[in-house]
Amino acid sequence: MDEAQRGSAEGIAVAVVQFAPTDDTVHNRDSVAAFVAVAAGRGAKLVVFPEYSSYFVHPLGDGFVRNAEPMDGPFVGALVAAAREHGVFAVAGLVERTDDKHRFSNTIVAVAPTGDVVATYRKQHLYDAFGAQESEWVVPGAIDAPQTFEAHGITVGMQTCYDLRFPEVTRRLADAGAELVLVPAEWVRGPLKEQHWRTLIAARAIENTLYVAAADHTPPIGVGSSTIVDPMGVALATIGETTGVAVAEVTAERVRAVREVNPALALRRYRVEPID
């Protein structure tokens, strides 16, 4: 691990970015670069973007397949360039090309300040709920061992949107050592959906005694309310319904202190195992 990845053991300033990606892939890349600059200017060393940051229209359709990119494509290239220029970790949702001519992968990419891709996550729980059918267009991610990466003394894990409704996903990340879990999302609006979003983010943080940083699209499609929540469930920074950036400090010491007071992970009597 190089010095840029190790960083300080004191903590890290984390930014969540809330915006509405479109079907204009060049505009999306430019937006990501601009938001990284804004977040870095506010002291952030880790910048988290929503799911589907490279391309998005509603509802899902064959445009996603046509605009899917490889990992070495222009979107990841722009993310790499922004991370290098501003010396930050950058994490964003990619519509990734697959061998399936009719479906794509809903992928999260984490890039280090060096420009290296340090972790990827492909969405495991597809949004076949509330009238949607994501599996019609998306290849589900394999149930692999969690990928984590180190950012300035913090162990970071990733999951995506609908995964938030499955507590075992975050628990597996906690078991893998995660102190901060990133949740890029496109949490679609609907009856009680904003309440679910906020409740589930806080629940995943509290029950695993770790930080959760969740980035959503702006309304009218997404619910907004991107937020960073600490291990006691306290919202440290939140964006309402507007486009913008929120920044909060994340420290390993806070995780340790909360786990001393609330040793729920040590006291549990069940483990998480994949079904397949």
> Do 230 and 202 touch, CB atoms closer than 8 A?
no
Q: Which of 146, 139, 160 is nearest to 97 (CA)?
A: 139
57-88, pLDDT tens digit by residue?
999 999 999 999 999 999 999 999 999 999 99
Catalytic residues: 51, 123, 161
Separation of alpha carbons 234 and 165, rounded Å? 19
CATH 3.60.110.10 fits 12-267, yes or no: yes
Return the closest-CA partner of residue 90 out of 24, 156, 160, 165. 156
Q: What's the Cα-to-Cα distance from 37 to each of 32, 74, 181, 258, 259, rounded to whole Å?
A: 9, 18, 22, 33, 34
Using CA atoms, how far apart are residues 203 and 207, in angstroms rounded to an integer? 6
Model confidence at 151, pLDDT cuts 50, 70, 90, reads very high
Q: Is the dihedral of CA 11, 15, 16, 21 positive or negative?
A: negative
DSSP code of residue 69: B
Q: What is the pLDDT of residues 94-143, one digit of tens each?
A: 999 999 999 999 999 999 999 999 999 999 999 999 999 999 999 999 99
Domain locations in the chain as residue ranges:
12-267
